[in-house]
Chains A and B, each alone.
Chain A
């Protein structure tokens, strides 16, 4: 466990919020005014139920969160705060990486989901199997079960693998023609290694390329995904095998300059890349701490009917309905997809880039 103050707090919130309707009704017994983590009304489930399940109502949210700027409803709108009852995290990951915010759950506010799950499952003590299926041994699924999770469960044993140099050769043979020999992308297929800033909020900026180094939160995902789906025309290829897929994974990680230790060392061509090295690197994925659980809705509008405030009317908040943007057109009059790099080169139907 990678225990910081933050993750400890997260874990305590998770315990209070976790699980079934039963656990929640336990919470709702708390006397009104109790706060979880000093932020949220402990009897939030009760409040939501009283409001007929309308957990998105402004009044309901204020009753749960208050309305202050830090943690209240007003704070939510201005700031994407992952710490609120509509999203929360559970246990930290086993690799010590900053994955603590990565195991999202159904928002506890979805009381009906819990009620339904309780009815269908938790409270169904009378269920007896129909017996329509056939038992099967886990061992019989060895070829089908190719799942590797974020904790590394499902990875090949540590004796399977190859050097980064060998992995690079496998990559160039099977991947390079679509993703570029150095992961730079080709033929419209995705780049795997780019050095781009994800923060480009200007309206006209091109969308940033999201690649392994600057975006992917888990290294395990690369191995799971390419073994499952690649090469595109013949996925999960036995002639590549676990060793080959590990080699490719290592080469992609090297191309993205992922660290292998706290000192900032990177993979050498001679490094034998196996599941142990993969799990070592899993906690150094640069963008892993930047993901937060879905906590929508953060927009809580009133249903205004007449003479609505300018902020809700067209014209970029100025109330002028005739202030609008139109589709840009190509010289031949056809609408233009708004990716600047395509603007002067590729009319629709000819070339490909992005996506």
Chain B
């Protein structure tokens, strides 16, 4: 399944079906031979486009009469080519940054930054805004000196240079990458009012690299080799244990991210990609893969990245990230601009495959309406959803709920809390709720607040 990317824009709702049909009609009318469709459209007769009715919502709004002046951009030359051999965002976008909470960690070398999810569009995270998580700071590795070794329970231990790796057949895949602690701050209740803080420990990019199964087969895994132990070349020497069945499924060793080399923050020159699984397994600065008979029981799969339950037991090896979703607009970073029409939009994803449906509630979960997708629907990747909403100005409780292709329905927070307590730290993947304050003649400032049930 994971080998066949199906570029399917899922048409889910009556609305989106009609939208698709309208686009089809429009396109067909533009080409010769579209007669049938053109006449069909005409057959609607009197129900055609009524310009007067169409602009009715503008009735009564004051008209601007001051003559518009030209700005400096129109009256002078801009800068020339090669001023920025590597292009940078407009200075007006300087607030769009990954950010951290300084009080989370005692130093910046073993810390995390969150992506500004609420300021992103589409399903691709720009490389400079990809979230960061280090356990021992970021090394600057010369790719000419970097090596990848595959050894252990193999027929022929091998060492590869970067050039060697790039000779192998390449694959490119779009996948989300999510720290299992994404949303961890919300286990004990609401902490912070921004999607960046509640869901920013994740990103979604296009990776290019070499299939891990190709590399492992190159060295010849012995039958007793049941696990692989990938390890990083950085100060943390990050290691995890990955079952060989998973390694042989859809994992790969990536050297590129969004068309260019990996950034140092994301593992330059190479990292492991374990689609759908917690990001801690995606070992960066990968330099060694040991094929082994048992898991290593590394600190990051025993002391950390295990989930403490209310009865004192702990769940371990929770590799897959569950289906999850969040409304990015309107969200606490924005303000409502008065009653009227809004397009609720957001992100949904699942570590176990494709997103199947996203539903949106505006009444705290009592009633739901299906949203439609505005992006391609890919395996283990972000999926964009959108739904029209006519806000009457009263208090509303916005929630999104994803169903993935396995049939798993995202649970509400009380249900997850009752089951897993509040000291779990990881995999807090239940729904969140945005409270839209009543408009009340603008007295509440259009505030949108993160609340929790």
Quote the shortest CB–CB distance from B239 to chain A (angstroms).
7
Can you give 17 A-B contacts (C-beta < 8 A)?
Answer: A53-B405, A54-B407, A55-B406, A106-B243, A135-B156, A144-B288, A147-B296, A199-B310, A208-B423, A292-B316, A302-B409, A305-B370, A314-B412, A324-B433, A325-B453, A327-B450, A352-B106
Instruction: With A132-B164, A217-B302 as known contacts, state yes or no: A203 contacts B188, CB within 8 Å.
Output: yes
Give the A-B pair count, Cβ closer than 8 A.
344
The digit string for B341-382, where 1 denotes a CB below 8 A from any CB of A, is: 000000000001000010100011111111000000000000
Q: B313 touching A291 by the CB < 8 A rule? A: yes
Using a CB–CB distance below 8 Å, which chain B residues touch chain A? 1-3, 101-106, 109-110, 135-136, 149-151, 156-160, 164-165, 167-168, 185, 188-193, 211, 213-214, 216-221, 229, 231, 235-237, 239, 243-246, 248-250, 287-288, 290, 292, 294-299, 302-303, 306, 308-320, 322, 352, 357, 359, 363-370, 395, 397, 399, 401, 403, 405-409, 411-412, 414-417, 419, 421-423, 425, 427, 433, 435, 449-453
Q: A104 touching B422 by the CB < 8 A rule? A: no
Q: B157 touching A305 by the CB < 8 A rule? A: no
A50: interface (CB < 8 Å): no
The 7 A-B residue pairs with the shortest CB-CB distance, nearest first, are A321-B364, A188-B106, A314-B364, A133-B158, A150-B297, A201-B310, A104-B317
Instruction: With A121-B213, A229-B136, A293-B316 as known contacts, state yes or no: A200 contacts B423, CB within 8 Å.
Output: yes
Q: Please report the C-alpha to C-alpha distance between residue A113 and residue B216 in the assembled complex, in whole angstroms.
A: 17
**Contact of A315 (CB < 8 Å), options: B216, B302, B317, B453:** B453
Interface positions of A from 104 to 138, Cβ below 8 Å from B: 104-106, 112-114, 116-117, 120-121, 124, 127, 129-130, 132-138
Q: B3 touching A308 by the CB < 8 A rule? A: no
A36: interface (CB < 8 Å): no
Q: Please report the C-alpha to C-alpha distance between residue A114 and residue B244 in the assembled complex, in whole angstroms.
A: 10
- Which residues does chain A contribute within 8 Å of B422, judged by CB atoms? 201, 203, 207
- Which residues does chain B contribute within 8 Å of A141, judged by CB atoms? 149, 151, 157, 288
Q: B103 touching A224 by the CB < 8 A rule? A: no
Of chain B, the residue at the smallest CB distance from A148 is B296
- Which residues does chain B contribute within 8 Å of A303, judged by CB atoms? 357, 359, 401, 403, 409
- Which residues does chain B contribute within 8 Å of A296, judged by CB atoms? 315, 318, 320, 322, 427
Q: B168 touching A130 by the CB < 8 A rule? A: yes
A265: interface (CB < 8 Å): no
Quote the shortest CB–CB distance from B331 to chain A (angstroms).
14
- Which residues does chain B contribute within 8 Å of A238, judged by CB atoms? none
**Contact of B435 (CB < 8 Å), options: A297, A306, A324:** A324
Q: B250 touching A116 by the CB < 8 A rule? A: yes
- Which residues does chain A contribute within 8 Å of B109, judged by CB atoms? 232
Of chain B, the residue at the smallest CB distance from A114 is B245
- Which residues does chain B contribute within 8 Å of A218, judged by CB atoms? 297, 302
Q: B191 touching A316 by the CB < 8 A rule? A: no
A270: interface (CB < 8 Å): no
**Contact of B168 (CB < 8 Å), options: A132, A189, A306:** A132
Q: Please report the C-alpha to C-alpha distance between residue A294 and residue B414 in the assembled complex, in whole angstroms.
A: 21
Q: Please report the C-alpha to C-alpha distance between residue A113 and residue B316 in the assembled complex, in whole angstroms.
A: 20
The digit string for A180-201, where 1 denotes a CB below 8 A from any CB of B, is: 0000000111000000011111
Quote the shortest CB–CB distance from B228 to chain A (angstroms).
11
Instruction: With A56-B406, A305-B368 as known contacts, state yes or no: A102 contacts B297, CB within 8 Å.
Output: yes
- Which residues does chain A contribute within 8 Å of B103, judged by CB atoms? 337, 342, 346, 348-352
Instruction: With A112-B2, A314-B364, A327-B192 as known contacts, state yes or no: A225 contacts B308, CB within 8 Å.
Output: no
- Which residues does chain A contribute within 8 Å of B407, judged by CB atoms? 54, 56-57, 60
A319: interface (CB < 8 Å): yes
**Contact of A149 (CB < 8 Å), options: B288, B297, B451:** B297
Quote the shortest CB–CB distance from A309 to chain B (angstroms).
10
Quote the shortest CB–CB distance from A278 to chain B (angstroms).
13
Quote the shortest CB–CB distance from B253 to chain A (angstroms).
13
Quote the shortest CB–CB distance from B179 to chain A (angstroms).
13
Q: Please report the C-alpha to C-alpha distance between residue A217 and residue B142 in the assembled complex, in whole angstroms.
A: 38
A332: interface (CB < 8 Å): no
A215: interface (CB < 8 Å): yes
- Which residues does chain B contribute within 8 Å of A311, judged by CB atoms? 415
Q: Please report the C-alpha to C-alpha distance between residue A314 and residue B156 in the assembled complex, in whole angstroms.
A: 58
Q: A147 touching B313 by the CB < 8 A rule? A: no
Q: A326 touching B449 by the CB < 8 A rule? A: yes
Q: B191 touching A327 by the CB < 8 A rule? A: yes
Query: 6 more A-B contacts (CB under 8 A) besides A133-B159, A224-B296, A328-B189?
Result: A129-B218, A220-B297, A290-B314, A324-B452, A324-B453, A355-B104
Q: Please report the C-alpha to C-alpha distance between residue A328 and residue B136 in the assembled complex, in whole angstroms.
A: 32
A335: interface (CB < 8 Å): yes
Of chain B, the residue at the smallest CB distance from A199 is B312
Q: Please report the C-alpha to C-alpha distance between residue A46 and residue B302 in the assembled complex, in whole angstroms.
A: 34
Q: B423 touching A294 by the CB < 8 A rule? A: no
Interface positions of A from 46 to 75, Cβ below 8 Å from B: 53-57, 60
Of chain B, the residue at the smallest CB distance from A188 is B106
- Which residues does chain A contribute within 8 Å of B415, judged by CB atoms? 299, 301, 311-312
Quote the shortest CB–CB distance from B412 to chain A (angstroms).
6
Instruction: With A132-B160, A133-B218, A150-B296 as known contacts, state yes or no: A80 contacts B309, CB within 8 Å.
Output: yes
Q: Please report the C-alpha to C-alpha distance between residue A157 and residue B451 in the assembled complex, in whole angstroms.
A: 56
